Amino acid sequence: VAGFSLNPAVMAFRSMDEGYRALCRGPVGRKQLGMTRYLMTLYRWKWLFLLTLLIMLGGSAFGAYYLFPPQYTATARIWVDGQANGQDASMGLTVSKREQDALQQLTGTDSFLSNVLKPTPIGAQLNGEPRHDQEIMKPVRKHLKIETLGPNTVVVSYAGRNPAVSQQIVQGTLDHFQAWITKTQADLTTAQSQKYQQMMQNQLDLYKKQMEDAQKQVSDFLAINPNPLPTTAAYQQLQELKQSSEAAAGLYATVAARLAGLNTTDALANTYQSMSFRVLDSPVAPVTASIPLKQVAEYIALTLVASFGLVAIAIILLTWRDTAVRTVEDVGALSDLPVLAIIPGLKSRSKRERASAIREKVGVAIAQHASIRR
For 246-290, the pLDDT digits (tens) are: 888 888 888 787 777 654 444 444 555 555 678 888 888 887 777
- 212, 263 in Cβ contact below 8 A? no
Quick: pLDDT tens for 302-312.
Answer: 888 888 888 88
What percentage of the chain carries pLDDT values higher than 70? 67
Say how far apart CA 60 and CA 232 lie, in whole Å: 11
CA angle 207, 210, 215 (to 5 degrees): 125
Say how far apart CA 148 and CA 34 lie, in whole Å: 61
pLDDT of 353 > 80? The answer is no
- 358, 343 in Cβ contact below 8 A? yes
What DSSP state is assigned to residue 338? Answer: P
What's residue 203's pLDDT? 79
3-state secondary structure of 263: coil
Q: Which amino acid is at 134?
A: Q
**Phi, psi for residue 147 in degrees, rounded to 5:** -130, 155
| b/e sequence 211-223, b meaning 16+ C-beta within 10 Å | beebbeeeeebee
Q: Which amino acid is at 353?
A: E
- Please tell me the least confidently modeled range out of 212-216, 242-246, 335-339: 335-339
Say how far apart CA 101 and CA 219 lie, in whole Å: 28
Alpha helices in 151-192 (DSSP H): 163-187
Quick: pLDDT tens for 48-89.
Answer: 888 888 888 888 777 777 777 778 889 999 888 766 555 555
Within a 13 Å sphere around the CA of 313, how many CA atoms are in the beta-carbon half?
6
pLDDT of 138 > 50? The answer is yes
What is the band of 364 on the pLDDT scale with cuts at 50, 70, 90? low
- 169, 176 in Cβ contact below 8 A? no
For residue 258, which of 201, 180, 182 has the smallest C-alpha distance? Answer: 201
pLDDT of 106 > 80? The answer is yes
Please say whether the dihedral angle defined by the alpha carbons of residues 277, 269, 249 and 90, taken in this order, is positive or negative: positive
Quick: pLDDT tens for 14-34.
Answer: 344 444 343 333 344 444 456
Distances (CA, A) of 116 to 111, 123, 157, 192: 9, 8, 14, 26
Average pLDDT of every residue of the chain: 75
What's residue 91's pLDDT? 58
For residue 361, which of 10, 6, 7 has the smallest C-alpha distance? Answer: 10
For residue 64, which of 307, 302, 239 has the smallest C-alpha distance? Answer: 302
For residue 190, which of 263, 260, 268, 275 has the smallest C-alpha distance? Answer: 268
